[in-house]
Amino acid sequence: MAQRLIEDDNGLFSCEVEVQSIILQEAMEHEGAEDVLKCALIAALTALAEAGPWPDALLESMATFMLEMREAVIQETLS
């Protein structure tokens, strides 16, 4: 199990993230983990606060990113 506390620089939010698998534990130890997690949380909170089309737009953008990442990983393992 690994835990990380994510806080913004202005003290507007904090979030504790806990993971269980070894792969996710290694991800939490990555040098860029805090920045990536903070960015994802800010994007999610902002999209939800703005409402309208933004939550769906963020989900679509994230889904596209994940599909492209999946394809890149597949290609990497095949070569």
How do the domains of the chain map onto residue ranges?
Answer: 2-78
pTM of the model: 0.82
When pLDDT is cut at 50, 70 and 90, the band that residue 79 belongs to is confident
DSSP assignment, residue 12?
S
Judged against a pLDDT cut of 90, whether residue 59 lies above it is answered with yes
Burial 35-65 (b: 16+ CB within 10 A, else e): eebbeebeeeeebeeeeeeeeeebeeeeeee
Which pLDDT tens digit goes with each residue over 17-57? 999 999 999 999 999 999 999 999 999 999 999 999 999 99
